[in-house]
Amino acid sequence: MGLNQDIKVAVDAVVFGYESKGNLSVLLIKRGVDPYKNSWALPGGLVLENESLEAAVKRELKEETGVKIDYLEQLYTFGKPKRDPRNRVVSVSYFALVKPNHFKIKADTDADEAQWFPVSKLPKLAFDHKTIFNTAEKRLKGKLLYQPIGFDLLNAEFPFSDLEHLYATILGRDIDRRNFRKKIKSFGFVEETNKMHQEGSGRPAKLFKFNKKKYDALVDDGFHFDIKFV
């Protein structure tokens, strides 16, 4: 039986950003072309003929937002027949994390505007992008508990309270700060620096850093990151 396919492949990215003591945000673009012109959407677009999926998503992010990605992971494939009114389009989605100092954005190509939105105050999204976003948010929350991806959302050196706040914000609930600190420190890959951080008129706080080499060495020895109890 012969096949007559006319399927296009696209990539879409759910880019999460987090600023110290702030909200978790997601990066959206305002579409400059039909369909859904002037609607907010996830950055993305069609994959070029001789382009890998990862190269395509990085190119689209650079073209549409100018943002620098610190962590990128393939999420899920979305392929319902009528998800795009123009063509049959299968989208391979990614989720990405952005450090605070890489927050600067610049819209270009077919995006009229690029903007960060708190995840709790998202506008109506074009296509099936709300479903893609929901899938990415669920993955982020789950992964935070068994892989140290949260450090990709913090500055290289941070007060411990920033790490606590990040977990509480993304998980959407309070955490036991004392047990959390004890558990994280027991792993041995979050190290004190000899620097202090002054915020307001309170006592200066010690700064910490994530030692990725030490974490990778522990993983090679069979270590499993797990903080589900918080």
Return the active site residues: 113
Q: Distance from CA of residue 164 to its chain's centroid?
A: 18
Cα separation, 2 vs 171, whole angstroms? 49
> What residues does 96 pair with on adjacent strands?
15, 72
40-41 and 24-31 strand pairing: antiparallel
